[in-house]
Amino acid sequence: MPELPEVETVRRGLAPVMEDRRILAAVARRPDLRWPLPERFAERLTGRRILRLGRRAKYLLADLDAGAEGTPEVLVMHLGMSGSFRIEPDAGIPQTPGDFVMARSKAAAHDHVVFRLEGGVEVIYNDPRRFGAMLLVPRAALDEHPLFRDIGPEPLGGGFDAQSLARELAGRRAPLKAALLDQKVVAGLGNIYVCEALHRAGLSPERPAASLVTAAGKPTAAARRLVETIRLVLEEAIAAGGSTLRDHAQVDGTLGYFQHTFRAYDREGEACLNPGCRGTIARLVQSGRSTFYCAACQR
């Protein structure tokens, strides 16, 4: 499942060709993805202008004008496990630096939604497994929609800091890694980047989440270090184009490079890369998911 950096990379690739463009025609080639598409989906999109392409957690958000519907809406898009967008014809999108290129799926059977935009550009959503989703939500109701009302602060935004993290972790007996994967604590974090952040911050994924909070409810030095590390790891991953494991690719088809700089994830049995550490990366299973960590330096 793509995580925040992958979704942000896709957003940045799509924004130059989608923002301030009118949808001349929308085509839905099947009635559903993970969930049924909204009623009159193609009809409601056709003729509307995309004002802005944003992101909330792991969702892409296309702000639409009121159009003939008379109500500003947001096109909510989730990539699922194998969803990707491609742009045809080539709209001059800057290519992500790199030598490894993944061929984009162009099988018509998996091209489920097409947006034909002003300027002769088509944005095509391809999803072989159909675990992605597209919804239309009134802009005024977005924050209270079930998908968003309980989501925590954006980790790269001003609402996420050591104090906000301490508030969410106070009293939690759950392992720290499990708490960080809770989208109510912080938005958009997934297994890969939580493993990486905990490793760089020198914090054990098994320690109680509440151990990052003092008796007075204040963040510990470890909590402050973790917040800074989460930001750093995500910013590096976005700059590298994301990790691109298995199916996920950027809109230009290139692989992300962050996977080549993993310091913990998927490195079981390899030497720890934290300075001064002679430990070895180990793997354990937490809540059915693999955790990669160094027992020697993560405390």
Catalytic position from the list 2, 5, 155, 175: 2
Which of 242, 241, 240, 250 lies closest to 102 in space, CA to CA? Answer: 250
Q: Which residues are annotated as a binding site?
A: 110, 129, 172
What single string gives the DSSP state of each residue in 112-132? EEEEEETTTEEEEEE-SS---
In angstroms, rounded to a whole number, what is the distance separating the alpha carbons of residues 139 and 155?
23
289 is catalytic: yes
- 29 carries an active-site annotation: no
Range 225-262 burial, b when 16+ CB lie within 10 A, else e: bbbebbbebbebbbebbbbbbebbbbbbbbbbbbbeeb
Sign of CA dihedral 179, 141, 4, 110: positive
Catalytic residue, chosen from 48, 55, 58, 200, is 58
Pairing between β-strand 289-294 and β-strand 111-117 as defined by DSSP bridges: unpaired
The string of DSSP letters for 130-177 reads ---EEEEEEGGGGGGSTTTTT----TTSTT-SHHHHHHHHTT--SBHH
> Which uninterrupted H or E stretch holds 282?
strand 281-286
Of the listed 34, 116, 224, 289, which one is catalytic? Answer: 289
List the binding residues for DNA: 110, 129, 172
3: annotated active-site residue: yes
Whether 58 sits among the annotated catalytic residues: the reply is yes
If we measure between CA atoms, which residue out of 132, 130, 138, 91 comes closest to residue 107?
A: 130
Catalytic positions are 2-3, 58, 289
